[in-house]
A and B are shown apart, each in its own frame.
Chain A
Amino acid sequence: DGGITQSPKYLFRKEGQNVTLSCEQNLNHDAMYWYRQDPGQGLRLIYYSQIVNDFQKGDIAEGYSVSREKKESFPLTVTSAQKNPTAFYLCASSPSGQGNTEAFFGQGTRLTVV
């Protein structure tokens, strides 16, 4: 089945640790995205990538890093510099820019700082 897979579903991070969230898609999409979702707020864009080996900062990139070495993979690292990382993280992909086409979302990773 084609789709986009995020792992793990739940992740716990200790203070000062870096953690990496996985996102893989087999839809052959060029564009991939990372969003953060907090209660009562809309999805906020962290990073996006239009093509392999290229990525751009979104609205809340501070404390996060990404890589796009393969078309199907777009991992997100939450670094210790991110002061409030507890949130629901969503990865998405689309054939090109989302404006005129649907985005496909993964099932999300819930990150909690302990």
Chain B
Amino acid sequence: SQKIEQNSEALNIQEGKTATLTCNYTNYSPAYLQWYRQDPGRGPVFLLLIRENEKEKRKERLKVTFDTTLKQSLFHITASQPADSATYLCALDPLKYTGGFKTIFGAGTRLFVKA
């Protein structure tokens, strides 16, 4: 079946370390992949978008990689802070070049950063 997989187990790390979250997908060839942050009881907030022809994208302490051969994206937060604690969702458009109206979201990975 077609799906996006994110680690359902929470990730616990120490402040200052790099957090790495994984998003794997099957049976898709997305042109874009997105990452969102969601805090409890609130709507997701967009963080980064990476295109299929981009290997890596950076924004401040965030880095996203996109390996279309492995069908995997990695999301890194360097020098993590307790304020980074949240659930991180990956999302993609399963239908390449068809408008992106049916973006599919993963269930997310919960990140806890301890001081």
Known: A97-B100, A107-B42, A108-B42. A43 touches B93 (CB 8 A): no
Most chain B CB inside 10 Å of its own CB: which residue of A56, A98, A105, A110: A98
CB of A42 within 8 A of chain B?
A: yes
Known: A50-B101, A58-B102, A100-B31. A40 touches B46 (CB 8 A): no
Between A and B, how many residue pairs show CB distances below 8 Å?
77
CB of A31 within 8 A of chain B?
A: yes
* Total residues of chain A contacting the partner, CB 8 A: 31
Question: B43 touches which one: A31, A40, A107 (CB < 8 A)?
Answer: A107
Assess the A90–B100 pair: CB atoms within 8 A.
no
Most chain A CB inside 10 Å of its own CB: which residue of B32, B49, B102: B102
Report, as a range, how many residues of chain B touch the other chain.
20 to 34
Q: How far is the CB of B54 from chain A (nearest CB, A)?
A: 12
Q: How far is the CB of B80 from chain A (nearest CB, A)?
A: 23
* A100 CB contacts on chain B under 8 angstroms: 31-32, 49, 51, 93, 100
B57-115 CB contacts (< 8 Å) to partner A: 89, 91, 93, 98-108
Question: A108 touches which one: B41, B45, B102 (CB < 8 A)?
Answer: B41
Assess the B105–A98 pair: CB atoms within 8 A.
no
CB of B8 within 8 A of chain A?
A: yes
Known: A100-B32, A100-B49, A102-B34. A42 touches B43 (CB 8 A): no
CB of A106 within 8 A of chain B?
A: yes
* A90 CB contacts on chain B under 8 angstroms: 43-44
How does the 8 Å CB contact mask read for B5-43 relative to A, with 1 for contact and 0 for none? 000100000000000000000000011101000000111
Residue contacts A-B, CB under 8 angstroms, 5 given: A35-B105, A50-B101, A100-B51, A102-B34, A105-B43
